[in-house]
Amino acid sequence: MVIRPLALALAAGLLAGCAVGPDYRAAAPAPVQLQHAQVEGVFAADSPVAGWWRQFDDPVLERLVGDALAANPDLRIAITRVRAARAVFVERRLDPWPHVTAGADQLRTRQAAGVDGERVTTEEYSLGFDAAWELDLFGRLRRGAEAARADLEAEQASLEDVQVSVAAEVARNYFLLRGVQKRIAVAEQTLANLHDTLRLTETRRDLGAGSELDVQSSRAQLKQIEAGIPLLETSAARARHRLAVLLGLQPGALDPLLAPRPTPAYAKALPLGDTRELLRQRADVRMAERHLAAATARVGVATADLFPRISIGGFAGFVSGDFSGLVAGGNQAWSLAPSIRWAAFDFGSVRARLRAAEAGADGAAVAYEKAVLAALEDTENSLVDYARHQERLRIVADQAAAARRAEQLAQAGYREGAADFLLLLDAQRTQLAADDALADAEAAVNIAAVGVYKALGGAGTAGEGGLASLAR
């Protein structure tokens, strides 16, 4: 009686190499040829340094990014998801192996015995080990483990994607803040000049060389600049608060560190590295590909439900009607029981689940194609954006230099009485607009550089943070 179940188990083990459903093979991404990566003087083929933010030579930025990669709340959430996925994978990986549990039971039965109907109470005690083993003939458990592994790898890619996004968001807000701070400085310097102009117009009016119109026009220009400063200060406060939250701190905690300081625009050729490997570098593309692998494996799980499930259960231990003598040698017992379960009369539900799994795999394939196209679009747009912002910066710098010279000439002419006040007022207004545009253009160049590195997959970002090691 024992030989037959054992023979069945052996035969099942020999057949366990079979696995129904499609076998997933990841396609090797084709080398990418970016159209806008060959602008001479703007981009370089050199590899970026580890941690792209270090190329800006700004110690404050380096500290902010490092602290964010060690304490950002979104990163902490992503790490918990990696841990959860790893636990599920470990569980699925152990499913094909026998599961053994220890237990003790007491069974009390009261039933009629004999022809007189007298009710008799009997007791039975058991102590030992129970074992259950599903023979994975058709690969249901194996496909489940494949899906769990792909889910884990997708979460790991998602963690890398969050790292890239956090570093880029910190750098973007940092350069936005520096740009606004410089615009505030420009406005305050302009205010100082306008106060001098106002005093000059008042003096000329008192001497009879000027008019009240000049005085009021100068005062109106001054108040216009004053009115814009609170809005700029609001934008600066928002950027400081955002940076603090990105680092897992309360708003305002970084205000001393974020005091104004010079932050020039990135003026060297931006090193891109090997852009042909773009799709391998993008964590979001790898995540989509792993989701496709998991969905494909789940088709195999659903397909295996069309076939019987064969399991072997067993018990080894002691069974007795007397608890005091339960572990006596004569009470040793064991059992071995193979079983077969098959959804022979529920194929409608099984096939419906299979169609759902196949639809999920088809959707994951389209999502992967979409992720590839989105990555290419994002990268091309970021390259164009950076190149055009560099071009705009050169033009705006020339404009600002010309506007400052024009204002100086108008100021001198007005003091000497050779120029009309309206000419001076227009020159001052033009200078303010040009200097403000220059500050904005310098910040925009740095922000665009951040966008390029984010689009390239955040070269050197993965593994920079202290949190990432906790998810491994």
Q: Are 275 and 452 contacting, i.e. CB atoms less than 8 angstroms apart?
A: no
The pLDDT of residue 460: 59
pLDDT of residue 381: 95
Identify the bridge partners of residue 320 per DSSP, sorted by sequence position. 125
Stated pTM of the model: 0.85
**Confidence band for 2, pLDDT divided at 50, 70 and 90:** very low
Indicate whether 297 pLDDT > 90. Answer: yes
Instruction: Count CB-CB contacts under 10 A for residue 367.
Output: 16
User: Where is average pLDDT lowest: 44-53, 59-68, 149-158, 438-447?
Assistant: 44-53
CA proximity to 198, closest of 223, 179, 174: 223
Structure tokens that stand for 467 in this block: 């949190």
pLDDT level of residue 459 (50, 70, 90 thresholds): low
Q: How far is CA 344 from CA 309, 347, 355, 357, in A?
A: 11, 6, 18, 20
- Give the 3-state secondary structure of residue 282: coil
Residues 146, 147, 150, 154, Cα dihedral to 10°: -170
pLDDT category of residue 194 using cuts at 50, 70 and 90 = confident
Least confident of 98-112, 155-169, 221-235, 280-294: 98-112
Contacts with 306 (C-beta within 8 Å, 6 or more apart), sequence order: 20, 343, 347, 350, 351, 354
pLDDT of residue 123 exceeding 70, the answer is: yes
Q: Which of 32-41, 169-178, 212-221 has the highest mean pLDDT?
A: 169-178
> What local confidence, expressed as pLDDT, does residue 461 receive?
62
Highest mean pLDDT among 99-113, 142-156, 201-215, 320-334: 142-156
Distance CA 168, CA 183 (A): 22
Phi and psi for 25 in degrees, rounded to 5?
Answer: -130, 115
Judge whether 34 and 374 are in contact, CB under 8 Å: no
Q: Domains of the chain by range and CATH?
A: 18-96+136-307+348-471 (1.20.1600.10), 99-135+312-341 (2.20.200.10)
Task: Compute φ and ψ for 329, nearest 5 degrees.
Answer: -60, -35
What's the pLDDT at 16? Answer: 47
CA distance 99 to 90: 14
Structure tokens at 348: 């409608």
> Tokens 């990014």 correspond to what residue?
65
- Nearest residue to 75 (alpha-carbon basis) of 158, 167, 164, 163: 163
Residue 51 has pLDDT above 90, yes or no: no
pLDDT at 13 over 50: no
Categorize the per-residue pLDDT at 471 as very low, low, confident or very high, splitting at 50, 70 and 90: low
Q: Which residue has the tokens 């100068």?
A: 218
Range with the poorest average pLDDT among 45-54, 282-291, 335-344, 416-425: 416-425
Confidence class for position 113, pLDDT limits 50, 70, 90: low
142 token code pair: 């194996």
Higher pLDDT: 288 or 466? It is 288
134-148, 308-322, 387-401: least confidently modelled range: 308-322
Do 133 and 45 form a contact (C-beta atoms < 8 A)? no
Contact predicate 194/227, CB 8 Å: no
- How sure is the predictor about 17, in pLDDT bands with cuts at 50, 70 and 90? low
pLDDT grade for 415, boundaries at 50, 70 and 90: confident
Helices (H) and strands (E) in the chain, counts: 9, 6
Token pair of 363 as six digits: 């959707």
Q: CA–CA distance from 253 to each of 63, 64, 104, 164, 248 (Å)?
A: 14, 12, 58, 23, 10
- 33 pLDDT above the threshold of 50: yes
What distance in Å separates the CA atoms of residue 266 and residue 261, rounded to the nearest whole number? 15
Q: Kindly state the average pLDDT of the residues 221-234.
A: 91
Q: What is the overall mean pLDDT for the chain?
A: 87
Q: Choose the weakest-confidence range: 256-260, 297-301, 318-322, 359-363.
A: 318-322
Cα(463)–Cα(472) distance, integer angstroms: 10
The predicted structure's pLDDT at residue 198: 82
pLDDT score of 386: 94
Model confidence at 380: pLDDT above 60: yes
**Quick one: pLDDT at residue 193?**
82
Beta bridge partners of 468: none
- In this predicted structure, what is the pLDDT of residue 468? 53
Which amino acid belongs to residue 111?
Q
- Please say whether the beta carbons of 21 and 303 come within 8 A: yes
Q: Looking at residues 136-147, what average pLDDT do you find? A: 92
The arrangement of strands across the sheet holding 118-135 comes to 99-113, 118-135, 309-320, 332-341
Residue 426 has pLDDT above 90, yes or no: no
